[in-house]
Structure 1
């Protein structure tokens, strides 16, 4: 097992176990640290795949979503003004309001945005939730497909069924090998062995490189990295520096996924 050590004054204060899998689109393991077959949840790292149906079904175009707004559908954001405005814009274009969001309210992760909210005498709302962009995108998908958007977050809703179909598609795993749970924001989340999770990023990246629909998601994320995270966020900073050479997405509990453009690895 590989560890990252935190050292203070010459003393190892803590150790964090690290598992890494680098996989190509065929599922071959290119490199690894720790246990590349460790089972864990994608959490928010699945968001690029979860946003794809909006593009594939033509709903993003039909509702006039901008590239920035598509990027926001992939976000774990800081709750800064552009993030909040973007989520509200997606909902408005879908013809619904923010009351339909099923992610709970919490203060913006951005300290400055949280301070500004307090100074304005306003309470945190659902739209400040770091997953509000994903939820707005899911609602737009439901509306665009003609599904009742009210319970879009429940496991048996067509939206959530479509989400797991995307993870099956990109990871290559059958559904019965993808354990599910409830994410922190209230929708379904998926678990997979790390190497299969990495494969999903490799196949997604390869599709983007070949001009498939995934290219629109990757282009949105790499063209508007601020919308994917925000000020001081690693996802944003990496894509700011790397441009379109790499796309990355974090998930809770230390998960980090990404794809290298032109190399077909995740």
Structure 2
């Protein structure tokens, strides 16, 4: 039987329940908390973007191209397409001598409503720079150009750059990434179904460097520092990851993925956390992650107001009247 990780209350009654799976793993791979079937294969989707950015840093390409904190944070991002995100993605491509025409992520309107309205109001049209994955893709283009590889077709599993970043995924998570567990992500790159336990273990290793080679561990530390310095770049206005890391800084590295995936590193505690909401609802995965962070950050987590707000928040109607709440369940 599936276990609820979040519930929605209205009028003093539970109106909806979201079932899911959650796991906390230490850097040695030992499970310290589990809820549900943690071996069930799950597509991590965008939660692993930082792992995909590791070769960009460890190869020296980021330094040679002059990529700073904002650029590296955007390479790890699922951003909202606000003007600052678009500008940094364009800057990354320019550093490699390329432009938006190299991006193979597709085009959509900014996720941020205000940014989308402003773009439409001025007669503008979205480009691939507005795609929430444009920073990740710009990172692939930068790595390809630095390697002397033609970037065209980099989304294909057989492209040298995609083979390199896929190898990094397999190394960090310890799970196989092969054709038999491969799907296609929303931005057209491969995504691989792996156990949720392996995803959490990967985040524990990413947060500590334990079990990674020296260069890869240094690259992970640099990416964490970049995101802590520029948390707006990794998500955007009002988004869970940005709000969390603006408040907690380097104590937590958090990354959402599509279809109700959340993952996080707690470097000081040496832990990785992964959550999957089975019906794909991000609201459930987010409140569950906040509840787990509250528990496993220890006293500092229990006393942090941002975590309390993210783990349990009010629902209001269009007149601003409180009608209920969304809250995590099963993590006390």
**Short-chain TM bin:** over 0.9
Contact kept? 1:177, 1:192, Cα under 8 Å: no
Question: 5 Å matches for 1:51-200?
Answer: 51-176=53-178, 179-200=181-202
2-structure distance, mates of 1:26, 1:216: 21
1-structure distance, mates of 2:14, 2:268: 39
* Structure with bigger gyration radius: 2
Question: 5 Å matches for 1:246-265?
Answer: 246-265=252-271
2-structure distance, mates of 1:153, 1:165: 14
What's the CA shift for 1:223? Answer: 1.1
Q: 1:58-97 CA distances to partner (integer Å, 9 max, x unpaired)?
A: 0010011111111000000010011000000000000011
Contact kept? 1:164, 1:190, Cα under 8 Å: no
What's the CA shift for 1:12? Answer: 2.8
Secondary structure of 1:241's counterpart equals helix
2-structure distance, mates of 1:152, 1:175: 17
2-structure distance, mates of 1:189, 1:173: 13
Tell me, yes or no, if structure 1 residue 215 matches structure 2 residue 221: yes
1-structure distance, mates of 2:183, 2:260: 17
2:31 to 22, 29, 32: 29
1-structure distance, mates of 2:81, 2:257: 17
Contact kept? 1:178, 1:192, Cα under 8 Å: no
Q: 1:123-163 CA distances to partner (integer Å, 9 max, x unpaired)?
A: 11111000000000011111111111011111110111112
2-structure distance, mates of 1:178, 1:261: 32
Q: How many residues align?
A: 266
Q: Which residue of 2 aligns with 1:226?
A: 232
**TM-score, normalised with respect to structure 1:** 0.96
1-structure distance, mates of 2:73, 2:178: 30
2-structure distance, mates of 1:188, 1:84: 24
RMSD after superposition: 1.6
Tell me, yes or no, if structure 1 residue 235 matches structure 2 residue 241: yes
1-structure distance, mates of 2:13, 2:125: 43
1-structure distance, mates of 2:234, 2:161: 21
What's the CA shift for 1:174? Answer: 3.2
1-structure distance, mates of 2:49, 2:36: 25
Contact kept? 1:178, 1:191, Cα under 8 Å: no
Residue ranges of structure 1 left out of the alignment (5+ in a row): none
